[in-house]
Chain A
Amino acid sequence: MEEKDFKIDEAKSKRLIKKILDLENENLKTKKYSRSEMSDKIIDFIKEEVRKCY
Chain B
Amino acid sequence: MLLKSLKIQNFRQFIGEQEIDFAYDDDKKITVILGKNTSGKTTLIKSFKWILYGVSDFETEDLINIPVASNMEPGDKEKVKGEIELKHKNTWYIIRREQDYFMTNSGDVKPENTRLIIQYKTEEGKYDFLRTSDHIDTINKILPEDLSDYFFFHGEQVKEIGANRRDGKKNITEAVESILGLEVINSAIKHLSGGPKISVIGKLKNQIDTSDNEELEYNKKLLAEKEEALENIQREISDYQNTIEFLEQEIDELNDKIRDNKPTRNLKNRINDNEIQIKEKIEKKSEKINKITDLISQKSPMYFMQPLLSRSINLLNNFEGFEESIPEMHANSINYILNNRKTCICGTKIEEGSEAFKNLIEFKRYLPPESIGTVVRLFLKDVRYNSTDGQEFYEDVITLIREVRFLNEEIKELESQNAKLSQEIENKPDVGVLEKEVNSKSEKLQSRKKKLEQKISEKGKLERDLEEIDKEIKKLAKNSEKNRFTLHCLDYAKSINARFEEHYNKLESKTRKKLEERTNEIFNKIYHGERNIKLKNNYEYYLETPEITSAALQDKADKSEGLKTVASFSFIAGIVSLAREKIYNQKSDEVEGYEPEPYPLVMDAPFSDTDEEHIKNISEVIPEVAEQTIMIIMEKDWKYAKDVLRNEVNKLYDMEKRSETKTFIQGGEIVSV
- The interface of chain A, by Cβ under 8 A from chain B, is 1, 3-4, 6, 8, 13, 16-18, 20-22, 24-25, 27-29, 31, 35-36, 38-40, 42-43, 46-47, 49-50, 53
Contacts and interface: CB of A to CB of B under 8 A. Distances in A.
Contact of A39 (B89, B200, B499, B500): B200
Contacts of A39: 191-192, 198-200, 202-203
B348 to A, nearest CB: 143
Interface string B71-103: 000000000000000000111000000000000
A17 B198 contact: no
B499 A20 contact: no
Contact of B495 (A13, A24, A27, A47): A13
A25 B593 contact: yes
Nearest to A49: B492
Contacts of B484: 3-4
A16 B91 CA distance: 27
Interface in B484-525: 484-485, 488-489, 491-493, 495-496, 499-500
Contact of A38 (B191, B202, B479): B191
A38 B478 CA distance: 28
Interface string B183-206: 111011011100000111011100
A43 B496 contact: no
Contact of A28 (B89, B131, B478, B492): B89
A25 B488 contact: no
A1 B480 contact: yes
B137 A46 contact: no
B141 interface: yes
A25 B184 contact: yes
A15 to B, nearest CB: 11
B496 A17 contact: yes
8 shortest interchain CB distances as A-B pairs: A25-B593, A21-B592, A36-B198, A38-B191, A39-B200, A6-B488, A24-B184, A42-B200
Given A17-B590, A35-B198, A36-B198, A50 B488 contact: yes
B276 interface: no
B124 to A, nearest CB: 14
A50 B91 contact: no
B481 interface: yes
A25 B478 contact: no
A15 B89 CA distance: 25
A49 to B, nearest CB: 7
Interface in B14-32: none
Interface in B562-601: 590-594
Contact of B184 (A16, A21, A38, A46): A21
Given A21-B592, A36-B198, 10 more contacts: A8-B495, A21-B593, A24-B184, A28-B184, A31-B137, A39-B203, A43-B489, A46-B492, A50-B489, A50-B492
Given A24-B187, A31-B134, A46 B496 contact: yes
B89 A29 contact: yes
Interface string B112-143: 00000000000000000011001001100100
Contact of A43 (B187, B204, B590): B204
Contacts of B202: 39
B565 to A, nearest CB: 34
Nearest to A3: B484
Contacts of A35: 190-191, 198
Nearest to B493: A46
Contacts of B131: 31
A25 to B, nearest CB: 4
Contacts of B203: 39-40, 43
A20 B496 contact: yes
Interface residues of B, number: 43
Contacts of A16: 492, 496
B5 to A, nearest CB: 23
Given A28-B184, A47-B489, A22 B593 contact: yes
Interface string B612-629: 000000000000000000
A24 B188 CA distance: 7
B191 A17 contact: no
Contacts of B481: 1
B261 to A, nearest CB: 50
A39 B591 CA distance: 20
Nearest to A43: B200
A35 B203 CA distance: 12
Contacts of A31: 130-131, 134, 137-138
B194 to A, nearest CB: 8
A31 B128 CA distance: 13
28 contacts: A1-B480, A6-B488, A13-B492, A17-B496, A17-B500, A21-B185, A21-B188, A22-B592, A22-B593, A25-B592, A27-B187, A28-B183, A28-B187, A31-B130, A31-B138, A35-B191, A36-B198, A38-B191, A39-B192, A39-B200, A43-B200, A43-B203, A43-B489, A46-B489, A46-B493, A50-B489, A53-B488, A53-B492
Nearest to B141: A28
A49 B16 CA distance: 60
Interface in B177-228: 183-185, 187-188, 190-192, 198-200, 202-204
A18 B184 contact: no
A17 B202 CA distance: 19
Given A3-B478, A28-B141, A42 B192 contact: yes
A1 B480 CA distance: 7
A16 B496 CA distance: 8
Nearest to A31: B134
Contacts of A13: 492, 495-496, 499
A22 to B, nearest CB: 6
Interface in B447-505: 478-481, 484-485, 488-489, 491-493, 495-496, 499-500
A50 B493 CA distance: 10
